[in-house]
Amino acid sequence: MTTSQHEISDEIAKIQADSPRGAPLLDFPPYRSTLLRHPTKDLQLVDPEGAELLAPVFGHSDVDPVESDLTIQRGGEPIGERIRVHGRVLDGDGRPVRRQLVEIWQANAAGRYSHQGDQHPAPLDPFFTGVGRCLTDDDGWYSFTSIKPGPYPWRNHHNAWRPAHIHFSLFGTDFTQRLITQMYFPGDQLLALDPIAQSITSPADLERLIASYDHSQSEHEWLLGYRWDIVLTGSHATYLEPTDD
Amino acid sequence: MTEATPGQTVGPFFHHALAYPGDAELVPFGAAGSVVLHGYVYDGSGDVVPDAMIEIRQADASGVVPAIGGSLRRRGHGFTGWGRCCTDFAGHYWFSTVEPGAPFFAVTVFARGLLDRLFTRIYLPGADLDGLTATREADGRLRFDIHLQGPSETPFFTFPRS
């Protein structure tokens, strides 16, 4: 008999009571695959040097503008609820991250990835790969047109379901700002049950991963808009800049 | 300072999104002056990790960290100093690159089961930093294994503002 959701939720609640934290705990047993994959020693605090002070640069030669629309990549209309997800990428001091790469990937409307390893018996969509890229603009804005991903089961425990999410890969201006994370949708009842989301043991910090519905981006008879802003860690290149507070 | 957006695991299904042709070839494989940097990723029981992704950032041979685009669509000219490699079924990663004219490669590690990215460094042979130094193999390749956990656990870093 595999572990039940009730047991997993109990484990999560105990850890959260002991150590509320804004960054995910790497050692988080309710997500079973972390057991042998989390470092056991403390991370070493070091001052970045050399290549760590400069993120890779991506330009218009790297990204075709059509890559930001996941609904037009395969010559037909993918099935599902058409959405736009937009927002800003900011650094830890509130400055926009300009002209930088954003990569996303997601399941289709039925909760199936276009990945050979995904064996979930839900239909693939011949018109949807679920993969997109764009560059932020001069104010740090990104925008993707896509299909709302479906939730899907996984094998962490009995009757385990991932909440609907879009994976985001981000770069800042320093190499040290590298971030891969997941964006969730508002009102998803699966979030409270999910060991991956709940590895962020402080509820206020988990909120940072949840997009908000944005009616100003919704289009008449066409799609629904969501807004999600991303804040990277602080840049070291500007570390000595004076501040007022 | 604003609070940073938390990370989440890269999950199991990232290859079709993040891998791309030439991702691990900062310079073409076998090019004059090139070197192969490679190794295996292991978990705490010594098993290989076939669903990890490694990224490197580095200076060029003269020690300059390049700030030019072109990493996603490499055109055979211009060294961008950045590359990405998903481990294969054997937990193996490799890059074709140049030896930096600087002491180390900056490295980021992602994997299923790893809830946030890890940073480390790969120093060139001779640095003699425990757990952070590549070895030179008989055929000239640089070898560096990454241990997420266990007796040979790789030292991982955090930076003052992260």
Contact A62 B71 (CB under 8 A): yes
Among B81, B149, B161, beta carbon nearest to A39: B149
For residue A175, is pLDDT > 80? yes
Place of tokens 């000239």: B140
What's the pLDDT at A95?
A: 95
How do the domains of chain A map onto residue ranges?
A: 5-36+54-114+123-231
Report the CATH number of the A5-36+54-114+123-231 domain: 2.60.130.10
- B68: in domain: yes
Residue B100 near residue B124, CB atoms below 8 Å: yes
Instruction: Kindly list the residues from chain B whose CB atom is less than 8 angstroms away from the CB atom of residue A41.
Output: 153, 155-156
Identify residue B61 by its one-letter amino acid code: A
Task: For residue A65, count other CB atoms closer than 10 A to its CB.
Answer: 10
Give A239's pLDDT tier (boundaries 50, 70, 90): very low
Instruction: Kindly list the residues from chain A whose CB atom is less than 8 angstroms away from the CB atom of residue B71.
Output: 56, 58, 62
- ipTM given for this complex: 0.97
Mean pLDDT taken over chain A = 94
- B155: in domain: no
- Of B106, B111, B100, B98, the C-alpha closest to B25 is B98
Give A244's pLDDT tier (boundaries 50, 70, 90): very low
- B79: in domain: yes
B7/A149 Cα distance (integer angstroms): 19
Give B43's pLDDT tier (boundaries 50, 70, 90): very high
- B161: in domain: no
B108/B146 Cα distance (integer angstroms): 11
B67-126: per-residue pLDDT in tens?
Answer: 999 999 998 778 999 999 999 999 999 999 999 999 999 999 999 999 999 999 999 999
B3-31: per-residue pLDDT in tens?
Answer: 899 999 999 999 999 999 999 999 999 99
B157 in reach of chain A (CB within 8 A): yes
CATH number at B109 reads 2.60.130.10
CA A113 to chain B, closest CA, distance in angstroms equals: 7
Contact A234 B162 (CB under 8 A): yes
What's the pLDDT at A236?
A: 85
For residue A238, is pLDDT > 70? no
B153 in reach of chain A (CB within 8 A): yes
CA B30 to chain A, closest CA, distance in angstroms equals: 23
Active site residues of A: 113, 152, 162, 165, 167
Residue A198 near residue A21, CB atoms below 8 Å: no
Contact A58 B13 (CB under 8 A): no
Strands A44-45, B157-158: pairing kind: parallel
**Domain count along chain B:** 1
B109-141: per-residue pLDDT in tens?
Answer: 999 999 999 999 999 999 989 999 999 999 999
For residue A242, is pLDDT > 60? no
B16 in reach of chain A (CB within 8 A): yes
Among A59, A131, A199, beta carbon nearest to B69: A59
Domain that holds residue B142: 6-147
- B153: in domain: no
